[in-house]
Chain A
Amino acid sequence: AQSVTQPDIHITVSEGASLELRCNYSYGATPYLFWYVQSPGQGLQLLLKYFSGDTLVQGIKGFEAEFKRSQSSFNLRKPSVHWSDAAEYFCAVGAGNAGNMLTFGGGTRLMVKP
């Protein structure tokens, strides 16, 4: 069975600083990988996805993620964090024939200092 680990439960960064959120997955085949963001009281918004091809994927709001098969990782990065990026971030792996059986990590809560 697939699994996703987000090692950092909380991260605090200063506004304008760079950000990297870690995600490691376990899955027997080529994974479909996703990053979602959730603001308080809201549903999940898709930031970016990896299905195949270029291992560096660009998403919305200036985020990017890199798929590294050798490390089973799909870390999320942003060069300069804005206060509005404070939220909870979830990494997910899609399994099943259609890749729609999503398994989520436990999430990383990002706080941004002024």
Chain B
Amino acid sequence: ETGVTQTPRHLVMGMTNKKSLKCEQHLGHNAMYWYKQSAKKPLELMFVYNFKEQTENNSVPSRFSPECPNSSHLFLHLHTLQPEDSALYLCASSQDNRLQYFGPGTRLTVL
């Protein structure tokens, strides 16, 4: 595998479910990011990790919980989501903190 991969590609969950999104980068980068892309709003940066440490939380509700166990993997744990959380969740990684490479995204639908 090359680049940035995300699993699953599609996810449907109820508001009481707990699920996790996974991102893996095969580029040797040291920074990883979560973005949310909604139908009616521009891409929004959610979280930034540098060397496994969270350096940015863009006022994201606590029902979204990121985890970065190492520089290659990033998770987004989801619980008690709302229908308005339905969106495309994109992961990205970078080495020089400026050139970000994106994964294909996970299309999340909350019922």
Q: Interface on A for B, CB 8 Å cutoff?
A: 4, 32, 36, 41-46, 49, 51, 90, 92, 94, 98-107
Contacts and interface: CB of A to CB of B under 8 A. Distances in A.
Contacts of A105: 42
Interface string B81-111: 0000000001010100111111111010000
B21 to A, nearest CB: 13
Interface of B: 4, 6, 31, 33, 41-43, 45, 48, 56, 90, 92, 94, 97-105, 107
Contacts of A100: 31, 33, 48, 94, 97-98, 100
A41 B31 CA distance: 24
Given A36-B102, A44-B43, 15 more contacts: A32-B98, A42-B104, A43-B103, A43-B104, A46-B99, A49-B98, A100-B97, A100-B98, A101-B45, A101-B48, A104-B42, A104-B43, A105-B42, A106-B42, A107-B42
Contacts of B105: 42-43
Contact of A45 (B6, B48, B97, B102): B102
A106 B41 CA distance: 7
Given A100-B31, A100-B48, A105-B42, A43 B98 contact: no
A71 to B, nearest CB: 21
Contact of B102 (A41, A43, A51): A43
A92 B37 CA distance: 14
